[in-house]
Amino acid sequence: MAELRYSSPIGSRVSSSPMKRDEDASSLIPENHPDDDDVHDRHPSRDRDRPFWLHFQALCPYFADETRVSPKLSRILLVLLSLILLAGLISIPSISNQLNAPYLCRKDGIALRCPHVKEPPSLWENPYSATTSWKPCAEHRDDGISDIPPENETTGYILIHAEGGLNQQRIAICNAVAVAKIMNATLILPLLKQDQIWKDQTKFEDIFDVDHFIDYLKDDVRIVRDIPDWFPDKSELFTNIRRTVKNIPKYAPAQFYIDNVMPRIKEKKIMALKPFVDRLGYDNVPPEINRLRCRVNYHALKFIPEIEQMADQLASRMRNRTSSSNPYMALHLRFEKGMVGLSFCDFVGTREEKAEMEKYRKKEWPRRYKNGSHLWQLALQKRKEGRCPLEPGEVAVILRAMGYPKETQIYVASGKVYGGQNRMAPLRNMFPNLVTKEELTSKEELDGFRKHVTSLAALDFLVCLKSDVFVMTHGGNFAKLIIGARRYMGHRLKSIKPDKGLMSKSFGDPYMGWATFVEDVVVTHQTRTGLPEETFPNYDLWENPLTPCMCKT
């Protein structure tokens, strides 16, 4: 497998083994053996011509002598045999059902799944028996009634800047609601700040359903659409340092807000919190606050109807690309130039490509680049630790090893892939049914969404969320929010998170054969498909909402 890492013609190498495997599959079909007919011909013709009931004479010595059987007894025997055959025919459907559903148990006359019976593996869904122990319960409120004070009795108003891309903004909004609850403050509808990378000026109402957001959370937090009219200068919130809280540490505990931020809000009545990226921890806040964050993420934050409807159409088109309805896979391919550069990993490429990437990194990240002498060792270390994005060709090999055939329908959510069509060629050769939202729609259909980059990201988000199988290739907010949401929906949907560290070792092993590689891939990823996982200290709530947002069934 070493050629996958260090040779440029990756497409031809990675495609040979899986394609050969498809050809070899024909060996499973039994061949015709001429000797089989000889075996059947060994039976004398007279035995084949005898009535079928006479063969039962061998079952009992009493009937061995046909002269002992009177005509009356023969008729009785025929009646008994007929009754036995009739009973057998009646019982066939029941036996067939039991064979077709080997994991059905019965309790009080009701057919139930037997948790102790192992189900056969499936490419398209997690085992039923492994996904029934938890259910969503973020909607549950501890007291069951609203305890929101009147607007003039809250601590004051807070306004936050939701920075970054769509998914980073989504997390910031969830945290803003939680912080407002912690401090008993009124939340002003968050601002989606223009980002230097995304270069987008989207407003909250351009992406999310504001009415639903405010109404759904009315029993949790008081939310207003805009800064109150009595406040003299709205721009002061972003320019006056006395109106801004800037010293909030990352992953701050709830107590920090109570001790350090709430007194300032009481004094000034309106305060802006920025920056607000990852400014609230997970295991250092009360469980009901984490449950509230899940309530915001999975229930309160809905995209506007136009986005929801277009995403439904895209998902439907994915399922009906062939003559019959079929499942589809969503692949979040993170191999844009910015991601490749920021990773500081080494990838297959020409000398010209490597020289160009070296200049790019030196320009964009001069402090990390330094003189470049340490980067090769750093790249090797990161790859061993599984911290490098998977290349399209590597993704193709892993998916084929898992058993996905070349006919698999794949929706690709990605920016502009670094290296263009040449880089994508191995993946397209092995999985020709790759499509993007641009290929599923007409130009006119997408024109209405091009005004906001986050609108296009929202379409990708929903189509990936609705897929039968979701595959991530690198970390990030998009992937972890998708995996978390699919877990919250019941763990049944497969969400594959490749073990990049182990895969790097396999790709770099020149002596590993295809069969060994397939076994490694299958065994390693049996538990990396979005199944329930117990949480641990400092766990990421967005990727694993098991507790406190899900409850034991």
> Torsion angle, CA of 16/22/24/25, rounded to 10 degrees?
160
Confidence class of residue 70 from pLDDT cuts 50, 70 and 90? low
Distance CA 397, CA 142 (A): 48
Average the pLDDT over each of 62-71, 228-237, 347-356 and give the range with the smallest value.
62-71
Tokens representing residue 312 in the block: 């439904």
Distance CA 199, CA 164 (A): 10
Q: Is 424 exposed, middle or buried (0-12, 13-18, 19+ CB in 10 A)?
A: buried
pLDDT in tens, 21-59: 444 433 333 344 434 444 344 444 444 444 433 333 443
Confidence class of residue 7 from pLDDT cuts 50, 70 and 90? very low
Positions of CATH 3.40.50 in the chain: 151-300
Query: In percent, how much of the chain has pLDDT > 90?
Result: 47
Residue 510's alpha-carbon distances to 259, 380, 506, in angstroms, are: 59, 17, 8
Looking at the DSSP bridge assignments, the partners of residue 494 are 469
pLDDT over 90 at 307, yes or no: yes
pLDDT of residue 513: 93
pLDDT of residue 111: 41
pLDDT in tens, 203-216: 999 999 999 999 99
pLDDT over 90 at 412, yes or no: yes
pLDDT in tens, 165-223: 899 999 999 999 999 999 999 999 999 875 555 455 789 999 999 999 999 999 999 99
Closest C-alpha to 160, from 147, 148, 151, 169: 169
pLDDT in tens, 235-249: 777 777 788 898 899
Average the pLDDT over each of 315-319, 349-353, 420-424, 461-465 and give the range with the smallest value.
349-353
pLDDT over 80 at 145, yes or no: no
Look over the chain and give the mean of its residue pLDDT values, rounded to a whole number. Answer: 80
Q: Is residue 349 within 8 Å of 432, Cβ to Cβ?
A: no
pLDDT of residue 39: 38
Average the pLDDT over each of 143-157, 262-276, 437-451 and give the range with the smallest value.
143-157
Average the pLDDT over each of 60-64, 228-232, 536-540 and give the range with the smallest value.
60-64
Closest C-alpha to 546, from 529, 530, 525: 530
DSSP tag of 148: P
Phi, psi (5° rounding) for residue 206?
-75, -20
pLDDT in tens, 446-469: 998 988 889 999 999 999 999 999
Distance CA 332, CA 390 (A): 11
Tell me which architecture the domain covering 151-300 has in CATH: 3-Layer(aba) Sandwich (3.40)
pLDDT in tens, 250-270: 999 999 999 999 999 999 999
pLDDT of residue 89: 61
